Amino acid sequence: MSDILIILLGTTMLYVSAVSRIEAYVKALAAQGLILFFLVVIDIRQISWLNITFLIFETLVVKAAVIPYFLLTVIRKNETVREVEPYISQFYSLLAASGIFIFGFVAAFWSSRTGGTVKPLYFGVSIVMIILSLFLIVNRKRIITHILCYMMLENGIFLLSLSVANELPMLVNIGVLLDLFVAVFLFAIFFNKIHEIYDGSHVDVLTELKD
């Protein structure tokens, strides 16, 4: 069951590589949070119940509900509907995403051969999410899209931590969650101010910023 969820999690990254509607990114982000919640419930057994409870709160409440709702509110307030023409077309973006997926499965195979405690499929898909999120940040022009891809990057890091969950302390979870909240709110404020001042929401307007 967990393998199916991991594959679905990776599929959400392919989905965002192919769509241009900003709300589709938010739905994919919420779906990732929900999938991470199920992974925590199904797979995590060897850490304390306090840590598990915190992980469930972080995935189901924060990642699947609070942050997507907050970002969706920001998007609708600024009437940002679609991503502008990316630097690389959707077709070539999908090709690049497919190549990244192949690399991720190679990484998963490599990790399975090392004989360590890392879960191979978790590790491979987490690498896919991290690299593909960085690729989308570079390729997309909307500031809000950069924020959403940053959240997906954080989900990839979270999945990477689940691959070695036995060594995941509560203090690390609290630090990651705090950084996530601060980043989301700062990004949202930044996006709103840019939209108010320059009447634009893509990264090209940043070239107009002055001291």
H or E element that contains 148: helix 143-162
Q: What is the C-alpha separation between 7 and 120, in angstroms, rounded? A: 12
Tokens 């690399």 found at: 103
Query: What is the predicted pLDDT for the residue at 132?
Result: 92
Q: How far is CA 208 from CA 76, 159, 191, 211, in A?
A: 24, 37, 15, 10
| C-alpha 203, offset from chain centre | 20
Side-chain half-sphere of 24: how many Cα atoms within 13 Å?
13
**What band does 183 get if pLDDT is binned at 50, 70 and 90?**
low
The tens digit of pLDDT for each residue in 46-92 reads: 666 777 777 788 788 888 888 888 888 878 877 776 766 677 777 78
